[in-house]
Structure 1
Amino acid sequence: MVQWSDRSSPVQAVTPDPARTSSPSHQSRTPSGKPPRRSKAAASTPAAPARPVAITIPAIGVRSVLAPLGLNPDGTVEVPTDPAAAGWYELGTRPGAMGSAVILGHVDSREGPAVFYLLSTLNAGDAVDVRLADGASARFRVSSVRTYANAQFPADQVYAAEGARVLNLVTCGGAYDAERGGYQANVVVAARWVRTRQG
């Protein structure tokens, strides 16, 4: 079953349990499903924005550099090695380009809350800013916050949506079950592009 909550309504999103922190190795279990492969050339055409290097989410106090993420040998998406830093899926769309760009981050680690610990508390309209390598800044605004059970993670929608400039932020969520490998769901924050300004 797909579990979801839209923060534009009074439904409460899942909040991570700090008493059940997991190690980064547990959270290397990336969102269910395997994204379609895209060549780096397709993601970096002359018309594409510069690569993203940092993200800021004022509503939850996030300021992080962005590490490039690719694919594991089994075809799943890599996750950041540093729980305090987020990462951009570099085989997909660049933030601000047509399509769905994806940034991932841990919700917690053995040391405590991680970069996206408060991601599920965002609300529709909250701002997300992505700084690009050429000094430009792409502004997005949150349109939805949803939690999907791992088995129902919509990989095609998250990684390969077309027809709009979308940024998807992904972290772990739902119930924590150590015997089953960690969190049993994923929080996906969808944000719509507003503008890109040169620095």
Structure 2
Amino acid sequence: MTSPDLLLRALHDEGNPPLRPLPDRVEEFLKKLDAPPRLAAHLRAVHDVAHRLVEWLEEREPALRFDRDAVLFGAATHDIGKTVHVGELSGPGSAHEEAGRELLLAQGVSAELARFAGTHAAWNGPDIGIEDLLVSVADKIWKNKRVQELEDLVVARLAEVSGRTRWEEFLAFDDVLGALGEGADQRLAFQASYPVRRAH
């Protein structure tokens, strides 16, 4: 199977359990950039988790004001810089972060939305919003990785808005992250079923 075929399959294979498709705009970017199939699979997994997290938040925290579309776009594009730094799909590295932001800006994406390519791995900056934190959480919990410092930042934001104690918010957030983490093995298997390298 050729690389474009594998990319299309990664974008449209339903998955088990099913994963939501990426936004059309993001799918077009990935095709145009000839993205590695594994990157498309990864972005779908993180985007799907972000979608479920956003749905939970909207139900539990109606007073929380956040940009739902920005979170979903950020989750769907956070690693797009790995189209340039392909080695970071299978090994460590942060060069993809700034590269991804620049790539998105070059594609006409606003700075407001392109920022997630850079902020998904750095959640301590002064201008980090709840949207950035949610993209970061989705990028961890898709593989059932828990990061206490990151989760504490979200819990603090939730308690500020809800009027409930941090402990109450922690328990609820812990529950939803536990439930989301349960699908990690299937998502990891879905991602691993696609190659890192383009077959040219």
TM range (shorter): under 0.3
Normalised to the residue count of structure 2, the TM-score between the two structures is 0.25
Q: More strand by proportion, 1 or 2?
A: 1
Query: Which of the two has higher C-alpha Rg?
Result: 2
More helix by share: 2
